[in-house]
Structure 1
Amino acid sequence: MRLLARREHSRRELARKLGQRGHPAPVIGRALDELAAENLQSDARFAEAYVRSRLERGYGPVRIEAELGERGVDAALVRPLLEADDDEWIERCREAHARRFGHAPGDLRERARQTRFLANRGFSASQIRRTLELAGAAEPADRDA
């Protein structure tokens, strides 16, 4: 109960933490079943809180889905939480790009660096491509003037 009092946890996280504290697997399973039955532990609630937290930190849908998968949350719970139109994800990608770089890539090496950053943040290739296109279009046409 103390673990759930601090923040939401997935069932897999709780099982791992309780196992590390020396509790036997059958006892852990029963305890987690009881917590779920009383709605004190919910993977759906955990996923909602986790997605909200990661969105606020500028992460994209690919990474968020992967991280929740690592935490044992079923993809069927995650996908509806990440369903946004591509324009919304592109806007989030643009925000992450602007916060980190603030400028369009000047050459291929810089473009690769910016692309790697956004890919590591969890944005798709099409979202990154569109973001960098829009960043380039926002640059002044004549830089020498």
Structure 2
Amino acid sequence: MPPVRPASLKVRALQWLAQREHSRQELRDKLLRLLQRSAREAARAAAGEGGAQHGPDTDADVHGDPAVEVDAVLQWLEQHGHLSDARFTESRVHARQARFGNRRIQQELQQHGVTLDADARQALQQTELARAAEVWRRKYGGAAADAAGRVRQMRFMVGRGFSPDVVRRVIQAGGPAVDGSDTSTD
């Protein structure tokens, strides 16, 4: 009896993409895990039915290499405009920029196998001070009363991915006006 397979890799990928944008690497990893899980379940079912023991490569033996199959699905999705790393990057930056600094955003994008292009990196750099001031203002609303409070605020802001220089400027100034005009030469 052939292993039980997901309805269709293409259908499952489209379902995930309908929920939110995914990077190519992220979707590839999810699809490969799906195939591995279905192969393990099929092997367990075959062993439970008294059939011959199948190893973890059962799925590959019957249907070819799972990585090749997944890459073909990903290529089809990209060709038909369903999967786009540029769209994923834009979506992720838009969702994260109000709460996180440039370092945190870039780190998260790297985890998904994508990087910011030069224009997007420059746009984030130009707004980092204003974004940091807004995050600081929402969280604290005012300057700390003592040095320990300032250190706590700085640690929070650096943890959010803002550069130490920007954090220092925000904390020292008590939160510069958020008008989008950054006179720094960073």
Q: TM-score range by the shorter chain?
A: 0.7 to 0.9
Q: Give the TM-score normalised by structure 1.
A: 0.84
Instruction: Please name the residue that 1:10 is paired with.
Output: 23
Higher relative contact order (CA 8 A, sep 6+): 1
Equivalent pairs: percent with the same residue? 38
Are the aligned partners of 1:105 and 1:136 in contact in 2 as well (CA < 8 Å)?
Answer: no
Instruction: Please name the residue that 1:71 is paired with.
Output: 112
Q: 4+ runs of 1 displaced by more than 3 Å?
A: none
* 1:4-43 to 2 correspondences below 5 Å: 4-22=17-35, 24-43=66-85
Q: Distance in 1 between matches of 2:113 and 2:124?
A: 26
| Residue 118 of structure 1: how far off its partner (Å) | 0.4
Unmatched runs of 5 consecutive residues or more in structure 1:
139-145
Equivalent residue pairs, number? 135
Q: Give the TM-score normalised by structure 2.
A: 0.67
Are the aligned partners of 1:59 and 1:123 in contact in 2 as well (CA < 8 Å)?
Answer: yes
Deviations 1:29-84 (Å, cap 9, x if unpaired)?
Answer: 1111111122210000000000000023x1111100100000111x2x34432323
Instruction: Please name the residue that 2:122 is paired with.
Output: 83
Unmatched runs of 5 consecutive residues or more in structure 2:
1-13, 37-65, 178-186
- Structure with the largest fraction of helix: 1
| Residue 117 of structure 1: how far off its partner (Å) | 0.6
* 1:1-145 to 2 correspondences below 5 Å: 1-22=14-35, 24-56=66-98, 58-73=99-114, 75=115, 77-84=116-123, 88-135=127-174
Looking at CA atoms only, which structure, 1 or 2, has the larger radius of gyration? 2
RMSD (CA atoms): 2.0
